[in-house]
């Protein structure tokens, strides 16, 4: 009598599940960005985001969290230019700035990076400005990011000071960069005054050369 062989167990393919989860997450972020920037943050329910993304509401919560966490993720991914938040010290342009041998090159690299970041953030700025007065969590998030930017600007000008003499002290230099690289300025010059992104980047680099470097 032939022996009965046990059934062959299928190897679980976790990669397919990860790919599906990544697709769902990307669809949710895309839907949220479209709806938040067209309808507004307050007027967009999570059910509308789920419907637009083609997923269940529970999938939205499991993938990105509740609405404030979703807004944070949109802002963080706009800053990083990837599908996830990336610490400043790990971003490619920061590493390139650190590797550059002179202040002019460091400034040029940073101005180009800020141009790309501001273009991604600009649609979200209007959303935050409109919703923040009625949404304390969103207002707190934007303040947190502003303070984080200020700390990063301090690191940037300290990096400049290692290879060049600054016209002003580090704190004032950091404030100048913080103010001029704000996405609101991009929104004004590119969004309202019709500047090209290249013109904006060149403006930043030229302004920082003039305002920050001695001689």
* CATH at residue 41: 1.10.10.60
Q: Are residues 52 and 90 in the same domain?
A: no
What's residue 100's pLDDT? 95
Pair 52, 140 in one domain: no
pLDDT in the model for residue 7:
61
> Is the pLDDT assigned to residue 3 strictly greater than 70?
no
Q: Looking at residue 134, what is its pLDDT?
A: 85
The pair of structure tokens assigned to 180 is 């001029």
- Nearest Cα residue to 117 out of 143, 91, 89, 156: 91
- The residue assigned the tokens 């999570």 is 46
Q: Whole-number mean pLDDT of the chain?
A: 89
Of 176, 203, 44, 56, nearest to 115 by C-alpha is 203
3-class DSSP state of 105 = helix
Binning pLDDT at 50, 70 and 90, where does residue 84 land? confident
Inform me whether the pLDDT recorded for 68 exceeds 80: yes
Whether 139 is covered by a domain: the verdict is: yes
Q: What domain range is 179 assigned to?
A: 86-212
What does the chain come to in residues? 215
Q: What pLDDT does 35 receive?
A: 94
Diameter over CA atoms, the chain: 96
The predicted model gives 199-210 an average pLDDT of: 96
Domain CATH code at residue 106: 1.10.357
Please compute the mean of the pLDDT values over residues 109-121 and round it to a whole number. Answer: 93
pLDDT for 174-198, tens place per residue? Answer: 999 999 998 889 999 998 999 999 9
Same domain, 158 and 206: yes
Cα–Cα nearest to 29, from 94, 95, 76, 88: 76
Rg (CA), the chain: 22
* Relative orientation angle of helices 67-80 and 57-64, to the nearest 10 degrees: 50
Asked if the structure places residue 190 within a domain, the reply is yes
In a domain? residue 22? yes
Q: CA-CA distance, 133 to 199, in Å (whole number)?
A: 33
Number of domains observed in the structure of the chain: 2
Task: State residue 53's pLDDT score.
Answer: 94
For residue 179, give the nearest of 90, 114, 107, 108 by alpha carbon: 114
Q: Indicate the range of 9-18, 36-45, 197-206 predicted with least confidence.
A: 9-18
pLDDT band at 128 (very low <50, low <70, confident <90, very high): confident
As a whole number of angstroms, the distance between CA 22 and CA 213 comes to: 44
pLDDT for the residue numbered 142? 84
Q: What letters, b where the CB count within 10 A reaches 16 and e where it falls short, cover 76-106?
A: ebbbbeeeeebeeeebebbeebeebeebbeb
- Give yes or no: residues 195 and 126 share one domain: yes
Let me know if residue 74 belongs to a domain. Answer: no
Query: Please, are residues 215 and 165 in contact by the beta-carbon 8 Å criterion?
Result: yes
Burial tier of 164 (Cβ tally within 10 Å: 0-12, 13-18, 19+): middle
pLDDT at residue 141 greater than cutoff 90: no
Distances (CA, A) of 126 to 37, 86, 115, 152, 193: 8, 23, 17, 23, 16
Res 143: pLDDT: 87
């Amino acid at each position: 009598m032939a022996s009965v062989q046990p059934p062959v167990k299928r190897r679980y393919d976790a990669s397919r599940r990860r790919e599906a989860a990544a697709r769902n997450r990307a669809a949710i972020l895309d839907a949220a960005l479209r709806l938040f920037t067209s309808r507004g943050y307050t007027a967009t329910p999570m059910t509308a985001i789920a419907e637009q993304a083609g997923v269940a509401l529970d999938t939205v919560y499991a993938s990105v969290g509740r609405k404030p966490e979703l807004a944070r993720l949109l802002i963080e991914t706009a800053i990083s230019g990837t599908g996830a938040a990336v610490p400043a010290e790990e971003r490619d342009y920061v590493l390139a700035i650190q590797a550059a041998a002179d202040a002019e090159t460091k400034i040029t690299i940073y101005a180009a990076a800020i141009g790309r970041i501001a273009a991604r953030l600009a649609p979200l700025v209007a959303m935050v400005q409109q919703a923040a007065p009625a949404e304390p969590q969103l207002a707190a998030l934007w303040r947190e990011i502003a303070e984080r930017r200020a700390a990063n600007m301090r690191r940037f000008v300290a990096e400049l000071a290692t290879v060049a003499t600054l016209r002003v002290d580090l704190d004032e230099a950091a404030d100048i960069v913080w103010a001029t690289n704000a996405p609101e300025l991009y929104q004004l010059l590119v969004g309202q005054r019709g500047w090209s992104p290249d013109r904006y980047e060149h403006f930043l680099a030229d302004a920082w050369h003039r305002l920050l470097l001695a001689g």
